[in-house]
C-alpha cells in the first residue's frame, strides 16, 4: 500500500488529478477541516478542482513519513501556495490517515491546524475567527460551493 500513497502524492506534486483519483476506491470517503466529509466522485472531483486551480501557479507539495500495512496507513505532507481569495502565502502541514480496500484508498482523512491555516490565509480575520466553529462552517460552505460550481462545469463539458 506504500506504493499507492506514494503514487497519490507524487501525482499531486505534478498536479495530475487523474492519477490521484485512480488511487481511490469507488467508495472513497475523504474528510478534512476545509471541505468536511466528501464521498465517491465528489471526493475525486475535489482533487480535480484543486489541481486545476493550481496549474501554472507557484504550488509546491512535499510528502514523507509514509507508514502502512495492508489495511491502514499514514503520511505527512505539506503544501505551499498562494491562497487565491486573499493573495496570501500559505504553508500548510497536514497529517493524513488512510484505509485500504481492494488495493486502493477507501478512506482518507487529512488533519491540520485550521487556526494556523486561517491566520496565514486570512491574516487578522483568521487570527480572530479561525478557532471558531462558525469560521469552519463558513469555510466548508464556501469550499463546497466552489466544488458545486466545478462539478456543474464538468457535467456541462462531459459528453
Residues 81-95: pLDDT tens digits?
999 889 999 999 999
Does residue 156 carry a pLDDT above 90? Answer: no
Question: Where are the chain's structural domains?
Answer: 2-157
Instruction: Give the pLDDT confidence of 67-81 residue by residue, as tens digits.
Output: 999 999 999 999 999
Predicted model pTM: 0.94
> What is the Cα–Cα distance from 120 to 88, expressed in whole angstroms?
7
Does residue 157 carry a pLDDT above 80? Answer: no
Does residue 159 carry a pLDDT above 90? Answer: no
Q: Which fold does the domain 2-157 belong to in CATH? A: Nuclear Transport Factor 2; Chain: A, (3.10.450)
Yes or no: say if 98 and 73 are a contact pair by the CB < 8 Å rule: yes
Amino acid at each position: 500500500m506504500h506504493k499507492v500513497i506514494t503514487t497519490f502524492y507524487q501525482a499531486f506534486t505534478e498536479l495530475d488529478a487523474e492519477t490521484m483519483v485512480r488511487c481511490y476506491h469507488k467508495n472513497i470517503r475523504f474528510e478534512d477541516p476545509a471541505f468536511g466529509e466528501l464521498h465517491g466522485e465528489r471526493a475525486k472531483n475535489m482533487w480535480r478542482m484543486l489541481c486545476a486551480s493550481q496549474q501554472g501557479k507557484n504550488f509546491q507539495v512535499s510528502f514523507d513519513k509514509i507508514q502502512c500495512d495492508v489495511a491502514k496507513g499514514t503520511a505527512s505532507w505539506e503544501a505551499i501556495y498562494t491562497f487565491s481569495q486573499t493573495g496570501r502565502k500559505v504553508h500548510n502541514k497536514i497529517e493524513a490517515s488512510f484505509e485500504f480496500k481492494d488495493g486502493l484508498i477507501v478512506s482518507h482523512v487529512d488533519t491540520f491546524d485550521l487556526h494556523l491555516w486561517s491566520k496565514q490565509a486570512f491574516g487578522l480575520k483568521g487570527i480572530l475567527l479561525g478557532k471558531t466553529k462558525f469560521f469552519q462552517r463558513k469555510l466548508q460552505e464556501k469550499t463546497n460551493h466552489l466544488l458545486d460550481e466545478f462539478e456543474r462545469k464538468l457535467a456541462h463539458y462531459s459528453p
